[in-house]
Structure 1
Amino acid sequence: MSKVIKLSDARVGDRGVIVSVGTHCHHQTEEVELERRLLELGLVEGANIELIHEGLIGRDPMALKVDDMRVALRRKEAASLSIELAGAAE
């Protein structure tokens, strides 16, 4: 059984695949803009992702490996992404 979590809840070393980007609530301009920026960074559904580092204060920002790229995000932005953890069983 797979486990889907918000990327903001991931821990260093967690790996998975992005299953959704954004909240899909397109009435709020800020959410639409954030979703657009995440997609432009390569954070698209189906991309492989791994949390490789967290900042010291509030675990912010997060450093991510997305396919062959490195990306830094704040946890607030990462909450817009859902990932299916690799090898997770419940």
Structure 2
Amino acid sequence: MKTLKEAKPGETVVVARVNGKGALRRRIMDMGITKGTQLFIRKIAPLGDPVEINVRGYELSLRKMEAESIELV
């Protein structure tokens, strides 16, 4: 499976599942990133951290570590 970290700017992707445990997983899900959610990859910083996405009508920046825990369809 492809992760959010591997997605390219300009792509629209769908979340397959959120990996991770405890507070990290809960935090990602609280931000609206759940199974079946569409994400638009706005831009990625030159070194890959952070990743800026558009989710459920708002813009969100995620660190590489957080992006690795989000699997895409």
TM-score over 0.5 for the pair: yes
1:75 and 1:15 mapped to 2: Cα distance? Answer: 18
Q: Conserved in 2, the CA contact under 8 Å of 1:51 and 1:64?
A: yes
TM-score, normalised on structure 1? 0.74
RMSD: 1.2
Are residues 1:14 and 2:4 paired?
A: no
More strand by share: 2
- Alignment length (residue pairs): 73
How big is the shift at 1:48? 0.6
Please state whether the residue corresponding to 2:33 is helix, strand or coil.
coil
Please state whether the residue corresponding to 1:65 is helix, strand or coil.
strand
1:14 and 1:83 mapped to 2: Cα distance? Answer: 12
The residue aligned with 1:53 is: 43
2:58 and 2:36 mapped to 1: Cα distance? Answer: 14
5+ residue gaps, structure 1: 24-30, 85-90
Please state whether the residue corresponding to 1:59 is helix, strand or coil.
coil
Q: Which has the larger radius of gyration?
A: 1
Percent of pairs with identical residues = 25
The residue aligned with 2:28 is: 38
For residues 30-69 of structure 1, the C-alpha deviation after alignment (integer angstroms, 9 at most, x for no partner) is x31100000011111111101101113x121010011212
How big is the shift at 1:13? 1.0
2:42 and 2:29 mapped to 1: Cα distance? Answer: 20
5+ residue gaps, structure 2: none
2:55 and 2:35 mapped to 1: Cα distance? Answer: 11
